[in-house]
């Protein structure tokens, strides 16, 4: 990059660095989740001040090309992830369609009694054993969604002992023959609390979208209740509707 910097150009040096990094991202030389060198290292490589590097990185962040976090460094951003509501493919399938690799960090997985709201959604009695799974979902290497999933333990015995880092819907389909085929979802804008902010890498009070979902199998039995928190700066929701009655 140093050889491409023109000190006598009317284009500021920071803008030249911005354009050079943006081009590397566009060509795939820097991929989603890749961490850029630290400001001090870039400044040394390019023989410019840290202030110049900071201007370039701030401009890239404003364009949504990188994500910056205090103490975490600068990463190539995933951009807006398109999530299609009422799509039973699940997070893994939706990321695959977007050309991104989905992964999960399991934060908690334990069999617990179902609280009243969860029991009502799953159409089971209060206190019945349910598997609660909390996972951080990543697109590439960047956190996008914090999932809080509840599954009836009796309908999926032993699920808690399996590898839960991949598609839970896939496990339901392949091992239990109870794949979700229909979902009912509700959206509500919320703000990040301390726990969700720390998990998703945002500041407390940042905009999140809460998606509350109940999934049903082919027999109409509820097989999952979930409350997913999506980063507002990383998710774009798409709803497809069709007329069920003749238009007047």
Q: What is the DSSP letter of 24?
A: H
Q: Taking 90 as the threshold, does the pLDDT of residue 61 lie above it?
A: no
Segments forming the whole domain that contains residue 140: 81-238
Distances (CA, A) of 26 to 22, 38, 207: 6, 21, 27
CATH of the domain at 65: 1.10.10.10
Phi/psi of residue 44, each to 5°? -70, -40
What's the CATH number where 140 sits? Answer: 3.40.1410.10
The reply to whether 111 and 72 lie within a common domain is no
Q: What is the pLDDT of residues 174-228, one digit of tens each?
A: 999 999 999 999 999 999 999 999 999 888 999 999 999 999 999 999 999 999 9
In percent, the amount of the chain with pLDDT more than 70 equals 85
Whole-prediction pTM: 0.69
């Amino acid at each position: 990059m140093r050889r491409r910097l023109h000190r006598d150009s009317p284009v500021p040096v920071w803008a030249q660095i911005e354009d050079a990094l943006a081009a590397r991202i566009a060509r795939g030389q820097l991929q989603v989740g890749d961490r850029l060198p630290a400001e001090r290292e870039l400044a040394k490589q390019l023989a410019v001040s840290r202030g110049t590097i900071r201007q370039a990185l701030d401009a890239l962040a404003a364009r949504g090309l990188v994500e910056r976090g205090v103490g975490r460094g600068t990463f190539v951003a995933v951009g807006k992830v398109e999530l299609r509501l009422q799509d039973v493919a699940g997070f893994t399938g939706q990321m695959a369609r977007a050309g991104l690799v989905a992964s999960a960090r399991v934060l908690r997985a334990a069999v617990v009694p179902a609280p009243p709201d969860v029991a009502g959604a799953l159409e089971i009695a209060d206190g019945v054993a349910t598997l609660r799974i909390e996972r951080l979902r990543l697109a590439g290497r960047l956190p996008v969604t914090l999932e809080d999933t509840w599954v009836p333990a009796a309908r999926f015995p032993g699920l808690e002992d399996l590898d839960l880092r991949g598609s839970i819907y896939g496990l339901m389909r392949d091992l239990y023959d109870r794949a979700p085929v229909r979902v009912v979802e509700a959206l509500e804008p919320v703000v990040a609390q301390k726990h969700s902010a720390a998990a998703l890498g945002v500041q407390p009070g940042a905009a999140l979208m809460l998606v509350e979902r109940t999934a049903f199998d082919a027999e109409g039995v509820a097989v999952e209740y979930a409350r997913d928190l999506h980063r507002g700066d990383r998710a774009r929701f798409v709803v497809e509707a069709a007329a069920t009655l003749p238009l007047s």
